[in-house]
């Protein structure tokens, strides 16, 4: 079981990671880095105690946006500070992981920096009067030459019928 979801972009994963949930509880599993999250999926049971607790298959997902610090600890330990501190041990390439997580965090922040919010104030659309009658539609009295209103039946000037 790889622990990654179908169609998910996996930047890096390590099947031999141990997560030290607490001083007395270390669970072995897979650490998976995606463009937006760092996820640990518990692997095989570590013993009857873990089996009773039912940790296999359990997972913790750490959104990279919540990660405030990543550092390489003593030996092969990667410490991730997010909503709490996560200690991942037995990493085959702890330094590489720290770099990869930092890189993913930087990439995840990128869209936020280039995002330009819309202007707070949008002026209402200006009122534009309906277009004046096209010159071709303008009519004139054939008797006196005065301009005639579009719908006029008689000339306003001389009273002659407008055709």
Q: Which residues bind Zn ion (CB under 5 A)?
A: 141, 143-144, 146, 155, 157-158, 160
Q: How far is the CB of 149 from Zn ion (least distance, A)?
A: 12
The C-alpha atoms of residue 76 and residue 89 are separated, in whole angstroms, by 6
If one counts every other C-beta atom within 10 angstroms of the C-beta of residue 124, the result is 5
| Of 35 and 156, CB closest to Zn ion | 156
| Of 49 and 158, CB closest to Zn ion | 158
| Of 96 and 157, CB closest to Zn ion | 157
Q: How far is the CB of 151 from Zn ion (least distance, A)?
A: 16
Instruction: Please give the order of strands across the beta sheet that includes 25-33.
Output: 59-63, 37-42, 25-33, 12-22, 85-89, 78-81, 69-72
DSSP reduced 3-state for 88? strand
Q: How far is the CB of 132 from Zn ion (least distance, A)?
A: 21
């Amino acid at each position: 079981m790889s622990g990654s979801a179908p169609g998910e972009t996996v930047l890096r994963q390590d099947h031999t990671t141990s997560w030290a949930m607490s001083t007395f509880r270390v669970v072995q599993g897979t650490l998976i880095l995606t463009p937006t999250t760092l996820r640990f999926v518990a692997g095989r049971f570590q013993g009857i105690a873990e089996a009773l607790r039912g940790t296999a298959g359990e997972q913790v997902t750490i959104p990279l946006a919540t990660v405030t610090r990543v550092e390489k600890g003593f030996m092969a330990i990667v410490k991730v500070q997010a909503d709490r501190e996560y200690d991942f041990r037995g990493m085959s390439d702890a330094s590489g992981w720290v770099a990869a997580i930092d890189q993913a965090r930087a990439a995840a922040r990128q869209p936020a920096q280039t995002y330009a919010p819309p202007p707070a104030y949008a002026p209402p659309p200006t009122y534009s009067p309906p277009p004046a009658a096209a010159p071709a539609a303008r009519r004139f009295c054939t008797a006196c030459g005065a301009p005639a209103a579009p719908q006029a039946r008689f000339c306003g000037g001389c009273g002659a019928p407008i055709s």
